[in-house]
Amino acid sequence: MVHPTAVETRDEMSVLGLGTWENDDRQQVADSVETAIEMGYRHIDTAQIYGNEAGVGDGIAAADVPREDIFLASKVWIDQLAHENVIASTKESLEKLGTEYADLMYVHWPAGDYDAEETLSAFAELKRDGFIERIGVSNFEPEHLDAARDVLGDDVFANQVEIHPRLQQSALREYCEDADIELVAYSPLARGGVFDMPTLSEIAAKHGVSEPQVSLAWLRAKGVTTIPKATSEAHIRDNWGSLDLELDDEDIEAIDGIEQTDRRVNPDFGPDSWA
C-alpha cells in the first residue's frame, strides 16, 4: 500500500503545526483544525489519550485541502504498547481520524507497556504495511533513543518533547541533530509561561509582536518544529504570525542565556532522569 505524502524532507515539513492536547470537545476541535488548515497550517498533531481523534478527522474532512497535503500525526498511549495492541489501536485511531494512514505515529511515552523490541517492531510492521508513513517517539531521553535506534536504525523520524525558552533541552537538541532525528516541541509556549519572561517581553516589544511569537521563532531558529495548542481563531492566527518573525543574533543570544529548568509536564511515569 503506497500513499501520496506531503512531506519527504524537513524543508517540506511544516515547522509550525497545530497541537490539540486538552481539547476534547468534538465540534470545537473540528472547528479549530478546519480554521488552522484554511489559514495555512499543514501539520496537525493529536493522540489516542486526547480523546479527540474523531474531531480532528472531522476538521480535516471539512477543510478545503486534500488529505495528501496534510501532515497528520498521532500517538499510541502507554497501555497500548504491547505488540498486538500497537497494531490494533493504531488501526482504531485511523478509523476515528477517517484516514487510511497517518503520516507519523509516535510512541507517546517510554512507559507502561513499552518494550523497545516488542513495541517498535509493531511500529515497523505498521510502516511496512502502509498504515503509517513514519515512526516517531515522544518524551524519549538519549538512553531511550539509543535503544530505539538499536531496533529501528535510521527509521526513528522524530522525537516529540517539551521544549521552550524555560526548558531549552540543549543536550537533547544536540543528540537529535547528530542522529538526524527531527525534534518536535510540545508546550512550546511553556503552558503560558512565556508571558512571565522579561527577556521575551523585551524582544516582543522590540519587534512589535507577541511573546508566543518570539518563543516559536526562537525554536524555529534552533531547527525545532513546534505544535502549539490553540483553539480560538485569534490564537491560531497569532501563532501563525510567528512565521513572519526573524529574530536577530542578539535576540537569539539573549534567549539562549536564559538559565531555567522549568518542566511543565512531568507525570509520575516520566523518565527517571526527570526526577
Q: H or E segment at 134?
A: none
**d(Cα 219, Cα 158) in Å, to the nearest integer?**
15
Selected catalytic residue, list 50, 101, 106, 114: 50
pLDDT (average), residues 252-258 = 97
pLDDT (average), residues 170-186 = 97
User: What SS3 state is found at 83?
Assistant: helix
Cα 113–115–119 angle (5° rounding)?
85
What is the residue extent of each domain of the chain?
13-191+225-242
More confident residue, 184 or 261: 184
Residue 50: active-site member: yes
**Which CATH architecture describes the domain 13-191+225-242?**
Alpha-Beta Barrel (3.20)
Give per-residue pLDDT as tens, 21-77.
999 999 999 999 999 999 999 999 999 999 999 999 999 999 999 999 999 999 999
**d(Cα 163, Cα 219) in Å, to the nearest integer?**
8
